[in-house]
């Protein structure tokens, strides 16, 4: 049995690791911080604390392993030095048998609200998306040179228990009017975990999948739906022009891109049947039908 290494074992990775462990598989989770390591220990996951930017990596069992790479690039620049360093490590240690990389749908750039699938050209414009593209390209080069397999998931916004914008909604932070709001895409964390495991097992090497529920909405509708499900007032609405001075740079960057992602490929090629095919399904499971027990995050 190949050992499974989850690099960047955080919100998604911890759930995936638990699923593998419950099936009797051997898993090692890599995380950067002491808090991250404590989180893994609390979940009974074997963990190792390393910063991909600077710590030694060549003592880990990479050779012939299965790697799920969930560590995001650093917060600035247009390259992902972490993934570059990881791949350089394999030259000395031997390569994993397969890497599953959690990229983002941001690599498609702005698509003016059109429906797109994986055949759509990538056009990363935001720096965060250019870093992701750099990571994808680094891993593709590794795969070609080593002959080992790479599978990429282009992940939409992840939501789930403790991953809802409730703090923002409680703070009555404004959002742009629905008619000016871009389309956004999501996936429930449980469906993403299932997809990760199935893609690791069955996806053909070189494959790319959009990881999303296929039921996009505008960003404003998203915040309104979460607020309604939690029994909270919806966000105050402002114009896009006002947003320029009232919203964070990060939020403005997300507002500048609009696309609707198809998920046909993951459903037909991998046979994924989503447990939460719409946001309403996911919110009902997280918050209950009446938003009865609202977490504080
Ligand atoms: N949130 C979204 O909506 C969304 C959408 C698309 C794609 N994604 C991407 O999907 C992936 C999984 O998401 P997630 O929610 O599970 O992320 P997460 O909870 O933030 O976990 C990220 C993990 O990566 C580790 N990490 C970060 N920098 C590192 C470094 N320099 N060296 C070693 N480890 C490092 C973190 O360690 P510590 O916690 O110990 O620092 C943590 O274990 C991420 O790449 C994320 O960016 C997220």
pLDDT 10s digits, 58-88: 999 999 999 999 999 999 999 999 999 999 9
Q: How many alpha carbons fall within 13 Å on the CB side of residue 127?
A: 9
Which SS3 state, helix, strand or coil, does residue 208 take? strand
In a domain, 152, yes or no: yes
CA of 256 to the centre of ligand 1 (A): 23
In a domain, 206, yes or no: yes
In a domain, 122, yes or no: yes
Query: Does ligand 1 come within 6 angstroms of the Cβ of 106?
Result: no
**Which of 5, 6, 9, 10 maximizes ligand 1 atoms within 8 Å of its Cβ, making it the mutation to test the pocket?**
10
**For residue 51, what pLDDT band results from cuts at 50, 70 and 90?**
very high
Q: Can you give the CATH number for the domain in which 77 is found?
A: 3.40.50.720
In a domain, 286, yes or no: no
> Given a cut of 80, is residue 248 above it in pLDDT?
yes
What pLDDT is attached to residue 296?
44
User: Atom 27 in ligand 1: which residue has the minimum CA distance?
Assistant: 71
Range of the domain at 74: 4-162+186-214+262-275
**What mean pLDDT comes out for the span 16-31?**
98
**What mean pLDDT comes out for the span 136-145?**
98
Burial of 97 (0-12, 13-18, 19+ CB in 10 A): middle
What is the number of domains present in the chain? 1
Of residues 109 and 296, which shows the higher confidence score? 109
Q: Are 18 and 43 in contact (CB under 8 A)?
A: yes
Query: Does ligand 1 come within 6 angstroms of the Cβ of 36?
Result: yes
In a domain, 93, yes or no: yes
CA of 13 to the centre of ligand 1 (A): 8
What pLDDT is attached to residue 2?
78
DSSP conformation letters of 218-244: EHHHHHHHHHHHTT-PPPPEE-HHHHH
CA of 72 to the centre of ligand 1 (A): 5
**For residue 297, what pLDDT band results from cuts at 50, 70 and 90?**
very low
Instruction: Quote the pTM value.
Output: 0.97
Note the pLDDT tens digit of each residue in 188-237.
999 999 999 999 999 999 999 999 999 999 999 999 999 999 999 999 99
CA of 80 to the centre of ligand 1 (A): 13
Output the CA torsion 162→28→193→70 (10° steps).
Answer: 80
Query: Does ligand 1 come within 6 angstroms of the Cβ of 29?
Result: no
Note the pLDDT tens digit of each residue in 114-137.
999 999 999 999 999 999 999 999
CA of 33 to the centre of ligand 1 (A): 12
User: Percent of the chain scored above 70 by pLDDT?
Assistant: 97
Q: How many alpha carbons fall within 13 Å on the CB side of residue 49?
A: 9
CA of 259 to the centre of ligand 1 (A): 23
In a domain, 294, yes or no: no
In a domain, 59, yes or no: yes
Note the pLDDT tens digit of each residue in 163-184.
999 999 999 999 999 999 999 9
In a domain, 85, yes or no: yes
Token digits for 224?
């309104």
**What mean pLDDT comes out for the span 267-278?**
98
């Amino acid at each position: 049995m190949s050992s499974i290494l989850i690099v960047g074992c955080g919100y998604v990775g911890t759930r995936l690791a638990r699923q593998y462990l419950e099936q009797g598989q051997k898993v090692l989770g890599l995380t950067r911080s002491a808090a991250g390591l404590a989180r893994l220990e609390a979940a009974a996951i074997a963990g190792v604390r390393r910063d991909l930017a600077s710590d030694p990596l060549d003592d880990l069992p990479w050779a012939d392993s299965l790697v799920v790479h969930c560590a995001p690039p650093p917060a600035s620049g247009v390259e992902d030095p972490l993934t570059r360093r990881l791949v350089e490590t394999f030259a000395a240690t031997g390569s994993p048998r397969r890497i599953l990389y959690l990229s983002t749908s941001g690599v498609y750039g702005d698509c003016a609200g059109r429906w797109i699938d994986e055949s759509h050209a990538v056009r990363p414009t935001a720096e965060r998306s250019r870093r992701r593209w750099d990571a994808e390209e680094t891993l593709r080069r590794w795969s070609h040179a080593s002959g080992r397999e790479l599978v990429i998931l282009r992940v939409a916004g992840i939501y789930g228990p403790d991953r809802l914008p409730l703090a923002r909604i409680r703070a009555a932070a404004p959002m742009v009017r629905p008619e000016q709001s871009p389309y956004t895409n999501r996936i429930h964390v449980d469906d993403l975990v299932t997809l990760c495991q199935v893609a690791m097992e069955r996806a053909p090497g070189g494959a790319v999948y959009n990881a999303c529920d296929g039921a996009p909405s505008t960003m404003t509708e998203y915040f309104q739906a979460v607020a309604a499900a939690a029994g909270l007032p919806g966000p105050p609405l402002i114009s896009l022009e006002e947003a320029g001075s009232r919203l964070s740079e990060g939020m403005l960057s997300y507002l500048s891109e609009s696309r609707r992602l198809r998920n046909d490929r993951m459903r037909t090629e991998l046979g994924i049947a989503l447990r939460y095919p719409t946001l309403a399904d996911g919110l009902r499971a997280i918050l209950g039908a009446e938003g009865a027990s609202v977490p504080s995050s």
